[in-house]
Amino acid sequence: MSYTAPQKDMLFALEHIANMPAIIQDLKLDLDMDTVAGILDEAAKLNQDIIAPTNKIGDEQPSFLKDGKVTTTPGFKAAFKQYVEAGWQGLSHPEEVGGQDLPKLIAAVCNEMINGANTSFGLCPLLTDGAIEAVLTAGSDAQKQTYIPKLISGEWTGSMNLTESQSGSDLALVRTRAEPQADGTYKIFGTKIFITYGDHDYTDNIMHLVLARTPNAPEGIKGISLFIVPKNLINPDGSVGASNDVQTLSLEHKLGIKASPTAVLQFGDHGGAVGELVGEENRGLEYMFIMMNAARFGVGIQGIGIMERAYQKAVAYAKERVQSRPVDGSAREAVAIIHHPDVKRMLLTMKSTTEACRAMALHTAGLLDVAHRHPDENARKQAQARFEFMVPLVKGYSTEMSVEMASLGVQVHGGMGFIEETGAAQYYRDARILPIYEGTTAIQANDLIGRKTVRDGGAVAVYFADEIDATVAQLQAKSALAHLAQPLAQANAAYREVVAFVLANTKAQPNVVFAGSVLYLKLAGLLISAWHSARGALAAQAQLDAGHADTVFMQGKIATGAFYIQSILPQAHAWAQAILNAGEVTGDFAVEQF
**Are the beta carbons of 188 and 177 closer than 8 angstroms?**
yes
For the chain, the domain total comes to 3
Q: Are strands 240-243 and 232-234 parallel, antiparallel or unpaired?
A: antiparallel
Question: Domain boundary residue among 256, 282, 308?
Answer: 282
The reported pLDDT for the residue numbered 171 is 75
Distance CA 554, CA 14 (A): 15
If one counts every other C-beta atom within 10 angstroms of the C-beta of residue 350, the result is: 25
Assign residue 122 a region: left if phi > 0, alpha if psi is -120 to 50, beta otherwise?
A: alpha
- Are residues 127 and 207 located together in one domain of the fold? no
Distances (CA, A) of 146 to 8, 85, 205, 220: 40, 19, 12, 31
**Are the beta carbons of 349 and 568 closer than 8 angstroms?**
yes
- Are residues 135 and 217 located together in one domain of the fold? no
Domain annotation covers residue 223 = yes
Question: Domain boundary residue among 252, 282, 312?
Answer: 282
The reported pLDDT for the residue numbered 290 is 75
CATH number at residue 262: 2.40.110.20
- Are residues 49 and 182 located together in one domain of the fold? no
Query: Which residue blocks in 477-516 are alpha helix, DSSP H?
Result: 485-505, 510-514
**Are the beta carbons of 151 and 128 closer than 8 angstroms?**
yes
Domain annotation covers residue 357 = no
- Are residues 510 and 537 located together in one domain of the fold? yes
Domain annotation covers residue 132 = yes
For residue 218, give the DSSP letter. Answer: P
Domain annotation covers residue 94 = yes
Comparing CA positions, the residue from 528, 583, 579, 537 lying closest to residue 560 is 537
Domain annotation covers residue 405 = no
If one counts every other C-beta atom within 10 angstroms of the C-beta of residue 443, the result is: 18
Q: Which residues pair with 251 in a beta bridge?
A: 263
CATH number at residue 116: 1.10.540.10
- Are residues 110 and 16 located together in one domain of the fold? yes
Question: Domain boundary residue among 153, 174, 193?
Answer: 153
Domain annotation covers residue 534 = yes
pLDDT (tens, 9 = 90+) of the chain, 594 residues, equals 689 999 999 999 999 999 999 999 999 999 999 999 999 999 999 999 999 999 999 999 999 999 999 999 999 999 999 999 999 999 999 999 999 999 999 999 999 999 999 999 999 999 999 999 999 999 999 999 999 999 999 999 999 999 999 876 777 789 999 999 999 999 999 999 999 999 999 999 999 999 999 999 999 889 999 999 999 999 999 999 999 999 999 999 999 999 999 999 999 999 999 999 999 999 998 888 877 888 899 999 999 999 999 999 999 999 999 999 999 989 899 999 999 999 999 999 999 999 999 999 999 999 999 999 999 999 999 999 999 999 999 999 999 999 999 999 999 999 999 999 999 999 999 999 999 999 999 999 999 999 999 999 999 999 999 999 999 999 999 999 999 999 999 999 999 999 999 999 999 999 999 999 999 999 999 999 999 999 999 999 999 999 988 999 999 999 999 999 999 999 999 999 999 998 889 988 899 999
Query: Which residue blocks in 264-376 are alpha helix, DSSP H?
Result: 284-320, 341-373
- Are residues 114 and 190 located together in one domain of the fold? no
- Are residues 167 and 73 located together in one domain of the fold? no
**Are the beta carbons of 131 and 139 closer than 8 angstroms?**
no
- Are residues 16 and 147 located together in one domain of the fold? yes
Long-range contacts at 463-466 (CB < 8 A, ≥ 24 apart)? 463/386, 464/386, 464/389, 464/524, 464/528, 464/531, 465/492, 465/495, 465/496, 465/499
Q: State the greatest distance between any 2 C-alpha atoms of the chain, in Å, as a whole number.
A: 86
Distance CA 41, CA 533 (A): 24
Assign residue 184 a region: left if phi > 0, alpha if psi is -120 to 50, beta otherwise?
A: left
- Are residues 48 and 129 located together in one domain of the fold? yes
The reported pLDDT for the residue numbered 292 is 80
Active-site residue 438, yes or no? yes
- Are residues 82 and 171 located together in one domain of the fold? no
Collect all residues with Cβ–Cβ distance below 8 Å to 223 and sequence separation of at least 6.
213, 214, 217, 282
Domain annotation covers residue 267 = yes
Q: Are strands 186-196 and 273-277 parallel, antiparallel or unpaired?
A: antiparallel
How many alpha carbons fall within 13 Å on the CB side of residue 216?
A: 2
Distance CA 593, CA 472 (A): 45
pTM (2 d.p.): 0.97
Domain annotation covers residue 335 = no
How many alpha carbons fall within 13 Å on the CB side of residue 418?
A: 3
The reported pLDDT for the residue numbered 295 is 86
Distance CA 1, CA 222 (A): 50
Q: How far is CA 389 from the centre of its chain?
A: 14
The reported pLDDT for the residue numbered 169 is 77
Collect all residues with Cβ–Cβ distance below 8 Å to 49 and sequence separation of at least 6.
none
Distances (CA, A) of 325 to 265, 348, 375: 57, 21, 62
The reported pLDDT for the residue numbered 1 is 63
- The one catalytic residue among 112, 164, 388, 438: 438
Distance CA 424, CA 446 (A): 32
The reported pLDDT for the residue numbered 346 is 98
- Are residues 148 and 173 located together in one domain of the fold? no
The reported pLDDT for the residue numbered 243 is 97
- Are residues 545 and 464 located together in one domain of the fold? yes
- Determine the 3-state secondary structure of 259 from DSSP: coil
3-state secondary structure 150-170: HHHHCCCEEEEECCECCECCC
Q: Are strands 206-212 and 157-161 parallel, antiparallel or unpaired?
A: parallel
Comparing CA positions, the residue from 448, 153, 152, 108 lying closest to residue 298 is 108
Q: Where are the beta strands (DSSP E) in 454-494?
A: none
Distances (CA, A) of 262 to 154, 192, 259, 306: 20, 11, 9, 19
**Are the beta carbons of 531 and 467 closer than 8 angstroms?**
yes
Domain that holds residue 45: 7-153
